[in-house]
Amino acid sequence: MTGGHRSKEGPILVCRNVKVSGRRTSLRMEPYIWDSLKEICEREGLTLNQICTEVDRRRGEANLTASIRVFIVSYYRNAIGGRGFAEDDGPSRILRKAMDDAIPPFDEE
């Protein structure tokens, strides 16, 4: 964790560095969001950098931090709406559906 701050208007934001498509960038998000993203990484067997890169690849002109937040909500909504995190089904189905629902693939022309 590289730091956090509390503003008068909002909660503590934690700043962390990630590599997105091989380039280093900083993201500021709430600790609960970071924890949720870490849990998704563990469930999916992917690194933080891999998930952030996939979100970045799909987001088009949208803000990366906002796109990650939407992806997290979509991931958990898909888990709840389906059969949850069933062992036999594999969480990767949830990951793919969450990515498609939250950030449809960006069509490059």
What is the domain partition of the chain in residue ranges? 4-102
pTM: 0.71
Residues of the chain above pLDDT 70, percent: 74
Q: What is the dihedral of CA 86, 105, 39, 53, to 10 degrees?
A: 140
Domain spanning 4-102, CATH architecture = Orthogonal Bundle (1.10)
- Can you give the pLDDT at residue 2? 44
Specify the DSSP element, H or E, that contains 14.
Answer: strand 13-20
- Can you give the pLDDT at residue 1? 41
Radius of gyration for the alpha carbons in the chain, expressed in angstroms and rounded: 14
Res. 101 pLDDT band, cuts 50 70 90:
confident
User: Is residue 5 over pLDDT 60?
Assistant: no
What mean pLDDT comes out for the span 37-48? 96
Lowest mean pLDDT among 13-17, 31-35, 99-103: 99-103
What tokens does 8 get? Answer: 């008068």
- Three-state SS for 5? strand
Specify the DSSP element, H or E, that contains 29.
Answer: strand 23-29
Q: By C-alpha distance, which of 79, 73, 80 is closest to 102?
A: 73
- Three-state SS for 42? helix
